Chains A and B, each alone.
Chain A
Amino acid sequence: MVRAIAGSSRRRRRQRNFDSNFPKGMRVMAVDDDLVCLKFLEILLLHCGYAVTATQYPCLALNLLRQNSDAYDLVIIDVQMPDMDGFQLLESIVVEMDIPVIMLSIHGDTKSVTKCIEHGACDYMVKPARFEELKLIWKHVVKRSMTETTFEHPLATAALPLGLGDGSSQASGNDHPDQGKGKGNELPTSVSDEGSSLVKKARVTWSSDLHAVFVRAVNTVGLDRAGPKRILEMMGVPGLSRQNVASHLQKYRRALRLYGPGFFNIVQGDAGAGASGGADTSGVKAKPQRTMALALTRPVPDNGRSTEDLRVAGFPNNQTAAPVSQTPMFSLPMSNQNALVQKRPSTSLGSQQTIRQISSPSYPASIDLTGPQATLDYQNQQSFVSALDQINDFIRNTSQNLLPSSIPPVPTFASGPSTGCTTGFVTDANSSLVQHGNQQDQSTTPPVSMMSSKQDVQWGSGAYTKTGPSSGAQNNEATLNMDNHAVAPLHGTSYAESAIYLSEPSIADGTFLFDDDNEGDDLHAMLRQFQNK
């Protein structure tokens, strides 16, 4: 049974990948902080017939990819970027999402190229990119899909209970029913996704036992000196690959860094072990586990968006959070246009491309907030969306699955990127959410409209043209300005506008929100197990 499902889904996916139009319509994400280069690259890619998402902000790109790694076939990254090192982004993508990445740089020297390949890039190009080269980048996508279809996790074909189609670790003697069902559910929904990307590698499920073995190995080797290969050897678990360990190690390290060594204790229910090193603000520490715990103990109803639930499942009344008005929420790199431009190749002569152009606000030396109230409104929006997304993600990953799966991944970001990826604003929003119930009541209606209007905004053809954006787009551009936004009233429309702001959240944020990790989220799955016990 399991084998049949796995096999047929693989076959189905393979067929879907290479339809008659391929490589036309291949979905490429381009990341470059230099706007001129980015625009040039984008137009070249469009001329090749690809569907392009271009952004100047690496953190934003990473979050987009994390939210829906199936939505992109290939990523092109500039090596030298101020906000996030190109290599860092490269590694994250390679380990977490397994999408082919091409590096782009001014330098063409051997050392730079070697470094990129060693970090996992599948190709390297020198700026400015050449049309002839870009015309052939689809070969990496084909190559990747070939290696994946031939790869079969040795445990994938073992007879497993509960329909764990994608394989599970041998050491996991206690497959939890929830998890099993969740995995089983994952398989059909991901297959039925339109435009799903290539066959994924078989996932290893990091059960609590396996994780314990992992931690023992890490502690023996020493966390600082721990390398995936060494840990793999120490663990001595057959069927586990270096890649699995590397990915898990990265998540483990990140979790430690963000939440401190007490993290795993907290998850197991110890109260007060909230001390964590490396968290940005005190508020940040407290948030995740409480959110998780509350969300788990409370079955979220179908509409799942009632203020009630969110307030409970949301955020502790965190007195230690930094005062709202003092937190620099945004520090924006430049005052140019096009924070995010998403285009589709034109299908007919003369047809205007669908463009979502968002002008980034100018770099504020200090945030000029017209009033704490207004700011809180704004932050309510953000955190509201964050909470919503958390719940969405959580629900999607459990057997309950009450919410319709057609919910698009909602960008949880506020307008305006932040250099250095701080998490300050989320914390502040937490405290403000609880304290300002009125605002929240107003915000119950928007989510639905936000979703739909976001949909319209994003995908409606002809809604935006290059030369003359519709009034909708203009509103967006206008309200993206920090000052305007601070005074934007909390109406449904402003939600719609704010929904399409794809600014740059922090990396920590992404992890923070326990993103919808389609990869079967080993570390987080393990955490859920603790909760379920």
Chain B
Amino acid sequence: MEVVQLQGRFIDFISSLFREGFLDDQFTQLQQLQDESNPEFVMEVVSLFFEDSERLLNELTSTLEQQIVDFKKVDAHVHQLKGSSASIGAQRVKNVCVAFRSFCEAGDREGCLRCLQQVKHEYSLVKNKLETVFKLEQQIVQAGGSIP
């Protein structure tokens, strides 16, 4: 496929992500921070985010499975997840975290479990989307073009 076409696809895809609320301005900032001295910056940070989130989601699952739920621990994890998703601009994940925290404060286990499901869902969605973004970037570069 031609470089121009690939670039077009890339732009369309990214725009849709913004439109659908998967990503927000923060992601744009990330992209702007990527330059010659940090060529892989976005990918690095996003990979860190994936690692971190998966760990947090596992912890959340096991904590909420306990007989007696330690809501403080849950809150701490959600807090961290909210922070990191906000840092990379994963808007929908962040929004679910906000709701999640209010259930934590209320000590509502059912609510927390529902939120956990939702967070996992949103996370896997945004992960998919971002991986597609990186793949498109790679294709452009391989075709000899530059990322718009």
Contacts and interface: CB of A to CB of B under 8 A. Distances in A.
B29 to A, nearest CB: 7
Contact of A349 (B36, B45, B49, B51): B36
Given A43-B38, A334-B55, A349-B37, A36 B49 contact: yes
Contacts, number: 66
B87 interface: yes
Nearest to A348: B37
B48 interface: yes
B88 interface: yes
A324 B49 CA distance: 37
Interface in A92-147: 106, 127-128, 130-131
Q: Is the interface of A mostly helix, strand, loop or mixed?
A: loop
Interface string B41-65: 1001100110110010000000000
A515 B26 CA distance: 41
B122 to A, nearest CB: 16
Secondary structure type dominating chain B contacts? helix
Contacts of B37: 346, 349-353
A149 interface: no
A34 B36 contact: no
B98 to A, nearest CB: 10
A106 B83 contact: yes
A335 B58 CA distance: 14
A174 B94 CA distance: 62
Of the four ranges (under 10, 10 to 19, 20 to 34, 35 or more), the interface on chain A belongs to 20 to 34
A344 to B, nearest CB: 11
A383 to B, nearest CB: 33
Nearest to A43: B33
A36 B52 contact: yes
Nearest to B53: A36
Contact of A106 (B38, B52, B86): B86
A360 to B, nearest CB: 13
A351 B41 CA distance: 15
Contacts of A36: 45, 48-49, 52, 83-84, 87-88
Interface of B: 26, 29-30, 33, 36-38, 40-41, 44-45, 48-49, 51-52, 55, 76, 79-80, 82-84, 86-88
Given A34-B80, A336-B48, 8 more contacts: A35-B48, A36-B52, A37-B84, A40-B45, A40-B87, A350-B36, A352-B37, A353-B37
22 contacts: A34-B87, A36-B49, A36-B84, A36-B88, A40-B30, A40-B88, A43-B38, A47-B33, A82-B76, A106-B79, A106-B82, A106-B83, A127-B83, A127-B86, A127-B87, A128-B26, A128-B87, A130-B29, A334-B55, A335-B55, A349-B36, A467-B40
Which A-B residue pairs are the 3 nearest by beta carbons? A36-B84, A346-B37, A128-B87
